[in-house]
C-alpha cells in the first residue's frame, strides 16, 4: 500500500461540501430534497439576496448572490429558508471532528471546506480509497455531500475538488496540468477573480497556459508581486503546508447590515455604525484579539461597493475607537449617494499578547478599571436576554 504514495512529496485532500447550507437544510428536512430551494435573508429588511441554493434550484437558473425577487421571478415555487448559522456551525464542527480521525494534519479553510494531509495514512488504504470512505461516511453520518480533490499540494487539491460537483472525486497530478488546467481561461484558477482576469487579458494573458509562461516583470507591472505567485500556481507549484493551527487564526472580524431603506443622511447612519462597531468589538473581546486596521464598507443603491481602511497607532478592540474611525472614513469617502449597506470590520487581527497589549497610562488604567465590571455585566445580560437588552446612547 505504501507504494501507492510518493516517496517524496505530499498527498493532500481538499474536502468541499456541496451547497453546504442547502445540504444541511435537506439533511434536517429530507422532504426538501429534489425541490428547488434557496437560503436567503429577510426580504422585508431588503436582505433578500440568495446566499446559496441547492442544485435543483441551480438547474432552474438560480444562483448566489442573485436578488431574491429575481430568483422568485424565475421560479415562483422556489422554497426560501432563512439561514440557521447555529446549525451550520454545529454540522461544520462535526465534519471537522470526523476528518481529524483520518489525519491530525487538518486545516479548515472555511465553514464548509478544508485540507487534509494524508501522506502518512498509507495504512488506511490508497488515497482514492480514503477519499471514497470520507465521502461515503459524511454522506451517511451527516447527510452532507462533498467533493474531494486529491493532489500533491493545496492549490491543485482545491482545483481538483472544483472539477466535479456534486459528489465528485478528482485526482490532479502535476503532470496532468498541461491537459486539465492550462486550456482554461485564467479566471478558472482559484484566487483569480474577474477584475484580475480583466487586467491579465488586457496584456494578452487569456489562458492559464499563457499565465504559466508569462514574463515575471510583465506580471508584476500588471497585478503586482502576487502575479509571480499566480504564475507558480499555474505551473502547479505550491509549497504551502497544511496548517493545523489555521482553525485558531483570524484574519478579520466584521459585521454588515443591509439598511431597511436607502439612507442619504449621515446622522441616520451613525446609530447603524455604532451597532456594527459594538458587534465587532464584542466578537473581538470574545476571541481575545486586537487590531490596528479598521475598515468601512459602503454599498450604494446601485450595488456599487467600496471598502476604505484606516490604520491607527495603537491596538484596539474597543467599540468607541472603532466607531470613531469608521465615522471619519464615512465623512471622508461617502459620495453623498443613497446608501444601501454599511459594514464595519477589524482587519489583520492578532491575539492579545504582551507585544500588542495597550500600554495604559494612569488615566486609561483608571478608566478601564471602571469600565471592566460594567462591561462584564453587560455581556452577561446580553448573552442571557439578547443584544438589544442594553444599548449605548448617542448624543444628538
Measured between alpha carbons, how far is 258 from 40 in angstroms, rounded to an integer? Answer: 13
3-class SS at 134? helix
- Residue that the C-alpha cell 504564475 belongs to: 231
- Residue 50 β-bridge partners: 40
- Residue that the C-alpha cell 442619504 belongs to: 264
Structure confidence at residue 355 (pLDDT): 54
Structure confidence at residue 368 (pLDDT): 42
Domains (range + CATH), the chain: 1-165 (3.30.70.270), 177-234 (1.10.150.20), 250-357 (3.30.1490.100), 360-396 (no CATH)
- Catalytically active residues, by annotation: 113
Each residue's pLDDT tens digit, 283-324: 998 888 888 889 999 988 887 888 888 988 888 999 999 999
Q: What is the DSSP letter of 251?
A: S
Q: In 105-125, which positions are buried (b, 16+ CB within 10 angstroms) versus exposed (e)?
A: bbbbeebbbbbbbbbebbeee
Is 387 among the annotated ligand-binding positions? no
Say if strands 339-347 and 146-151 run parallel, antiparallel, or are unpaired: unpaired
- Residue that the C-alpha cell 499555474 belongs to: 234
Helix, strand and coil in the chain, % to nearest 5: 45, 20, 30
Each residue's pLDDT tens digit, 67-112: 888 999 999 999 999 888 889 988 998 999 899 999 989 999 888 9
Strand positions, DSSP E, 111-200: 113-117, 146-151, 169-171
pLDDT at 393 > cutoff 80: no
187: cis peptide before it, omega within 30°? no
CB 7 within 8 A of CB 122: no
Q: Who wins on pLDDT, 390 or 126?
A: 126
3-class SS at 391? coil
Q: How many CA atoms lie within 13 A of 115 on its CB side?
A: 26
Angle at 343 between CA 341 and CA 346, to 5 degrees: 170
Structure confidence at residue 367 (pLDDT): 45
Q: What is the DSSP string of 31-48?
A: GGTTS-EEEE--GGGT--
pTM: 0.66
Instruction: Give the residue from 126, 96, 90, 91 showing the smallest Cα distance to 109.
Output: 96
Helical pair 216-223 and 226-234, crossing angle rounded to 10 deg: 130
Each residue's pLDDT tens digit, 163-217: 999 999 999 999 999 999 999 999 999 989 888 999 999 999 999 999 999 999 9
Ranking 145-149, 278-282, 308-312, 325-329 by mean pLDDT, the lowest is: 308-312
Phi-psi region of 199 (alpha: psi -120 to 50; beta: other; left: phi over 0): alpha
Measured between alpha carbons, how far is 132 from 140 in angstroms, rounded to an integer? Answer: 12
CB 298 within 8 A of CB 283: no
Each residue's pLDDT tens digit, 121-144: 988 899 999 999 999 999 999 999
Residue 10's contacts (CB-CB under 8 Å, 6 or more residues apart) are 117, 119, 152, 153, 242
Residue 170's contacts (CB-CB under 8 Å, 6 or more residues apart) are 147, 148, 149, 150, 160, 161, 163, 164
Is 265 among the annotated ligand-binding positions? no
Within a 10 A sphere around the Cβ of 370, how many other Cβ atoms? 10
CB 254 within 8 A of CB 280: yes
Q: What is the DSSP letter of 238?
A: -
Question: How far is CA 287 from each of CA 11, 96, 243, 299, 349, rounded to the nearest angstrom?
Answer: 33, 20, 20, 28, 10
3-class SS at 241? coil
Instruction: Give the residue from 68, 76, 8 showing the smallest Cα distance to 38.
Output: 68
Give kind and range of the element (H or E) at residue 30: none
Amino acid at each position: 500500500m505504501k507504494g501507492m504514495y510518493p516517496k517524496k512529496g505530499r498527498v493532500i485532500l481538499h474536502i468541499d461540501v456541496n451547497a453546504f447550507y442547502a445540504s444541511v437544510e435537506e439533511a434536517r428536512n429530507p422532504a426538501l430534497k429534489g425541490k428547488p430551494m434557496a437560503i436567503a435573508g429577510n426580504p422585508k429588511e431588503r436582505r433578500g439576496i440568495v446566499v446559496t441554493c441547492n442544485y435543483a434550484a441551480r438547474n432552474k437558473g438560480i444562483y448566489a448572490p442573485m436578488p431574491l425577487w429575481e430568483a422568485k421571478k424565475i421560479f415562483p415555487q422556489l422554497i426560501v429558508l432563512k439561514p440557521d448559522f447555529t446549525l451550520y456551525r454545529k454540522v461544520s464542527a462535526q465534519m471537522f471532528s470526523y476528518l481529524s480521525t483520518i489525519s491530525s494534519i487538518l486545516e479548515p479553510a472555511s465553514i464548509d471546506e478544508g485540507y487534509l494531509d494524508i501522506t502518512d495514512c498509507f495504512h488506511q488504504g490508497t488515497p482514492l480509497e480514503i477519499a471514497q470512505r470520507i465521502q461515503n461516511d459524511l454522506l451517511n453520518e451527516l447527510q452532507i455531500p462533498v467533493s474531494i480533490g486529491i493532489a500533491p499540494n493545496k492549490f491543485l487539491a482545491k482545483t481538483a475538488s472544483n472539477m466535479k460537483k456534486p459528489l465528485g472525486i478528482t485526482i490532479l497530478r502535476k503532470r496532468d496540468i498541461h491537459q486539465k488546467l492550462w486550456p482554461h481561461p485564467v479566471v478558472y484558477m482559484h484566487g483569480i477573480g474577474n477584475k484580475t482576469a480583466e487586467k491579465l487579458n488586457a496584456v494578452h494573458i487569456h489562458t492559464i497556459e499563457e499565465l504559466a509562461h508569462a514574463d515575471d516583470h510583465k506580471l508584476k507591472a500588471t497585478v503586482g508581486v502576487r502575479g509571480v505567485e499566480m504564475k507558480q500556481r499555474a505551473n502547479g507549484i505550491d509549497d504551502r503546508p497544511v496548517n493545523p493551527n489555521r482553525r485558531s487564526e483570524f484574519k478579520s472580524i466584521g459585521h454588515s447590515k443591509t439598511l431597511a431603506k436607502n439612507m442619504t443622511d449621515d446622522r441616520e447612519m451613525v446609530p447603524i455604525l455604532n451597532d456594527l462597531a459594538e458587534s465587532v468589538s464584542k466578537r473581538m473581546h470574545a476571541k481575545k484579539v486586537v487590531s490596528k486596521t479598521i475598515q468601512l464598507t459602503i454599498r450604494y443603491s446601485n450595488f456599487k461597493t467600496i471598502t476604505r481602511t484606516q490604520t491607527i497607532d495603537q491596538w484596539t478592540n474597543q467599540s468607541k475607537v472603532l466607531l470613531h474611525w469608521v465615522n471619519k472614513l464615512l465623512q471622508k469617502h461617502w459620495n453623498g449617494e443613497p446608501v444601501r449597506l454599511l459594514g464595519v470590520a477589524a482587519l489583520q487581527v492578532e491575539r492579545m499578547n504582551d507585544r500588542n497589549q495597550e500600554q495604559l497610562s494612569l488615566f486609561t488604567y483608571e478608566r478601564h478599571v471602571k469600565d471592566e465590571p460594567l462591561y462584564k455585566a453587560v455581556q452577561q445580560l446580553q448573552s442571557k436576554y439578547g443584544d438589544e437588552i442594553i444599548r449605548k446612547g448617542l448624543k444628538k
